[in-house]
Structure 1
Amino acid sequence: MHTTRNTVLEAWMKEHGHSSNSLADAVNTTLGCLTGRTGGLDGSSVRDWKAGRVKWPKSATRKALEEITGLPATALGFEPRGTSSTSAPPQEGTDTMKRRTLVGGIAAAATAAAAPGTATPRRIGMSDVDRLKKRFADIIASDHRHGGQLSLERQAAALADKALNLQNAGTATQRVRGNLYAAAAAFRSSAMWAAIDGRRYGDAKAHMREAQALAEMSGDQAIKFRIWSHTGTMYRHMGRPADALAANDVARNLHITRRDPMFASLGLARQTAIQGLAQDRTGTHRAFDQAQDAMFRADPGAFRPVWMLAFYDQAELDSLALSANLSLGDYQTAEFHAHRCLSELRPHMVRSRAIATTRLAHAQLAQGEVDAATATAMRVPADAATQHARVSRMLQEFGAALRATAPGSPTVQTWTEHVAAWRITA
């Protein structure tokens, strides 16, 4: 049977930096948000769409795609089965109107549920909070696989709104309401982090302001720490160490850092990276030693939020020390921390592995190890190299440094060919 490629979908994916695998993951996560059950698509499913072998995905999948892209399925190049009015999807204007009507209907229903004099207002409980926490865990997992994707930022922001909408959907205890605000702040902080990781700093600041307000209403110390710590990281990536230190100090001065040395360790680890950027060699080494000591003192069995359990460990501490020593120009020490980080990274830390590998290549090249550095850089997966903003930029800087170090060499030619292959396979 003759099939026509869906060039419209291909063009959208290219414009928004999606590979087949990353779009499949985004759809799966959005399906989880919409239906409560994460989807089972993979890269081959998306390749079937692009090749035209599947012209009209299932209704839930189409809805997830529309949530991610903001476009109706027909505007993404999909063709409905048959041509009758009952099977054809609405045009873009009608689709937008229906979405607005649906949102308005939900809001009206929520208001009616909470209004006095109605039959029985809905009772919002911890089971609703627990469902949100499960979706938050999915967001965290997706972030560690890919990081920085606009689709992830939008999903997290939409879930923050969902948590807030529950505040008006019925009655709840003060404890439940506090947990809903904390959930909304957590989702908004993940949207903020995705924007930071994707170098969309203007969007990150907007998410930051809303996240900070929600965290204050929740009274949750852990999420306050996360937001202010992310703020310090944002300013560090923007090259503003004074602002980064000020924001990170807010996180470090929260009383949760005195209750749990692991929070103190994370605050000091991020201070290590900031001090490196500020060219404070003594402060960098002091902060790292204190972070390591606090980690040793922390109770490994203590209860901690999922976002911290998912990423902060010895590997992350070494990753931040790697960043700090690169900034200081101490390339031998940076290489030491890179190897230790890579040896200890957990399997799900895909994005972190790509970043550490790229930084290791920079440390090796700065020490004159041209061939070893190039071999290291070539180990970065194609999707991270082409679709993750931070990794892409660091690899571009690596290529420029390589050409300056060994102009016209066979190694430069090898690197150039490898970069071209990345672009083809991504």
Structure 2
Amino acid sequence: MANDVLKRRMGELDMTQEELAEKLNDAVHSLTGSHGKATARTVWNLQNRVEWPYTKIRMALEIVFGCPVEELGFTPRTVKSAETKDEEPVDRRNFGALAAGIALGAAAPGTLHRVGTSDVMRLHRKFAEIIAKDHRQGGRKPIEHQALGLAGEALGLLNAGSSSQRVKSLIYSTAASFTSSAMWAAIDGRRFEAAQRHFDRASSLAGMSGDQAIQFRIWSHAGTLYRHLARPADALAANDVARRLRVTRGDPLFAALGHARHAAIHGVPGDTRAIRRCMDLAEDAYTRSSAFEQDRPVWLTAFFDRAELHSLATAAYLAAHEYEDAEANAHQSLALLRAPLARSRAITTARLAHGHSWGRAI
């Protein structure tokens, strides 16, 4: 009974049996405070023998792959069946109590393990790696899956011990950040149904976090999602949620991105006047942003600059069939583009070629 789905998903992530075993152990640790006991043999059994893993392994698999285990090729059983000897049964109803007990036992006698800011930040540093991969490679499935796995790891911290309300908010913000990256990878890869699922989850997590910056990212991405689906009314409504957040009043750089993405959406129905108005607002906000000393999130500073402004203008004018304006903005974007942004360079180059060919045809 080979589980071809699990094997394929591991292949997409270029993950060996040993590497998955280690990730499962890390996930178990995030859930219980105690390192797991999975080995390469455990993974082989999951690939070839196990129809429905025990609860602890199921939850760890969901953290690593960022999806229900049913989507990994496992089938719930109706009767008790034999499992691998190196896995122990865990009743899901009692899992929370087990996790708390193990976490308590791992701490000093009489104390409860305390999850702090440093625990969250160690995980959040991986967010920069996801952002860098996205700008190098674009919307590949491995990026989407890795981001979802890291979101699961972040949420696992909620069960690893006690924490302050501030730390809980950071955990939700971190999980929302990773989920928003999965959403963006799915949008970029034209996997729109998956992107919608990630949006629903990410917006919920962001709401619990209270983090305005990540809420902006998620709703702005939703605007892009609906733009690609040729639903400009929904796209404008979603992007308006982002543009009206308090963070755009506190930092013009957010406002500039919101206005520029609004311009791109107006390109779908061909509203040239609205495109120019939004791009003027974006340029003005971007110019003012240089005077603000802000601690900005890595997802924003990694890509958003004047080159991206011109890239979004290119998308807007191209959609509106204003090919001369599209070509001019594409050339300006490519001249200003930073070297690491390989994905952006490829997209803008393709848009330039498209605008050039269509512009010459009319």
TM range (shorter): 0.7 to 0.9
Structure 1 residue 92 corresponds to structure 2 residue 47: yes
Q: Which residue of 309, 325, 333 corresponds with 1:333?
A: 325
1:332-389 deviation line (CA, Å, top 9, x unaligned): 11111111111111111111111101000011101228xxxxxxxxxxxxxxxxxxxx
Structure 1 residue 256 corresponds to structure 2 residue 253: no
Q: Superposition pairs for residues 190-339 of structure 1, below 5 Å? A: 190-299=181-290, 301-339=293-331
2:57 corresponding residue in structure 1: 102
Q: Supply the AA of the counterpart residue of 2:47.
A: E
1:150 corresponding residue in structure 2: 141
Q: Superposition pairs for residues 9-28 of structure 1, below 5 Å? A: 26-27=13-14
Taking the aligned partners of 2:238 and 2:175, their CA distance within structure 1 comes to 21
1:111 corresponding residue in structure 2: 100
Q: Supply the AA of the counterpart residue of 1:59.
A: E
Quick one: structure 1 residues 175 and 12, their matched pair in 2 at CA, closer, same or farther if it must change by over 3 Å?
A: closer
**1:113·1:122 contact (CA, 8 Å) conserved in 2?**
no
**2:104·2:111 contact (CA, 8 Å) conserved in 1?**
no
1:59 corresponding residue in structure 2: 18
Quick one: structure 1 residues 63 and 98, their matched pair in 2 at CA, closer, same or farther if it must change by over 3 Å?
A: farther
Percentage of identical aligned residues:
46
Taking the aligned partners of 1:188 and 1:207, their CA distance within structure 2 comes to 6
Quick one: structure 1 residues 86 and 183, their matched pair in 2 at CA, closer, same or farther if it must change by over 3 Å?
A: closer
* Partner secondary structure for residue 230 of structure 2: coil
Q: Which residue of 339, 346, 357 corresponds with 2:349?
A: 357
**2:173·2:205 contact (CA, 8 Å) conserved in 1?**
yes
1:9-29 deviation line (CA, Å, top 9, x unaligned): xx969xx9x9xxxx6xx55xx
Note the C-alpha offset of 1:220. 0.4
* Partner secondary structure for residue 121 of structure 1: coil
* Partner secondary structure for residue 340 of structure 2: coil
Note the C-alpha offset of 1:97. 5.8
Give the alignment's Cα RMSD to 1 decimal: 3.3
Taking the aligned partners of 1:317 and 1:153, their CA distance within structure 2 comes to 25
**1:221·1:254 contact (CA, 8 Å) conserved in 2?**
yes
Indicate the larger mover: 139-148 or 360-369: 360-369
Taking the aligned partners of 2:193 and 2:327, their CA distance within structure 1 comes to 33
**2:17·2:44 contact (CA, 8 Å) conserved in 1?**
no
Taking the aligned partners of 1:88 and 1:139, their CA distance within structure 2 comes to 25
Note the C-alpha offset of 1:282. 0.8
1:214-243 deviation line (CA, Å, top 9, x unaligned): 111100000010010000000001111111
**1:113·1:121 contact (CA, 8 Å) conserved in 2?**
no
Taking the aligned partners of 1:327 and 1:342, their CA distance within structure 2 comes to 19
Quick one: structure 1 residues 262 and 114, their matched pair in 2 at CA, closer, same or farther if it must change by over 3 Å?
A: same
**2:21·2:43 contact (CA, 8 Å) conserved in 1?**
no
Matched positions, count: 306
Indicate the larger mover: 360-369 or 108-117: 108-117
Quick one: structure 1 residues 103 and 121, their matched pair in 2 at CA, closer, same or farther if it must change by over 3 Å?
A: farther
Quick one: structure 1 residues 307 and 88, their matched pair in 2 at CA, closer, same or farther if it must change by over 3 Å?
A: closer
Gaps of at least 5 residues in structure 1 are 1-7, 31-56, 68-84, 370-404, 406-426
Quick one: structure 1 residues 171 and 145, their matched pair in 2 at CA, closer, same or farther if it must change by over 3 Å?
A: same
Quick one: structure 1 residues 94 and 100, their matched pair in 2 at CA, closer, same or farther if it must change by over 3 Å?
A: farther
Indicate the larger mover: 108-117 or 204-213: 108-117
Taking the aligned partners of 1:205 and 1:271, their CA distance within structure 2 comes to 19
Quick one: structure 1 residues 337 and 112, their matched pair in 2 at CA, closer, same or farther if it must change by over 3 Å?
A: same
Quick one: structure 1 residues 169 and 287, their matched pair in 2 at CA, closer, same or farther if it must change by over 3 Å?
A: same
* Partner secondary structure for residue 360 of structure 2: coil
Taking the aligned partners of 1:308 and 1:121, their CA distance within structure 2 comes to 37
Quick one: structure 1 residues 197 and 87, their matched pair in 2 at CA, closer, same or farther if it must change by over 3 Å?
A: closer
Gaps of at least 5 residues in structure 2 are 27-39, 60-87
| Higher RCO, Cα 8 Å, sep 6+ | 2
State the TM-score, normalizing by the size of structure 1: 0.65
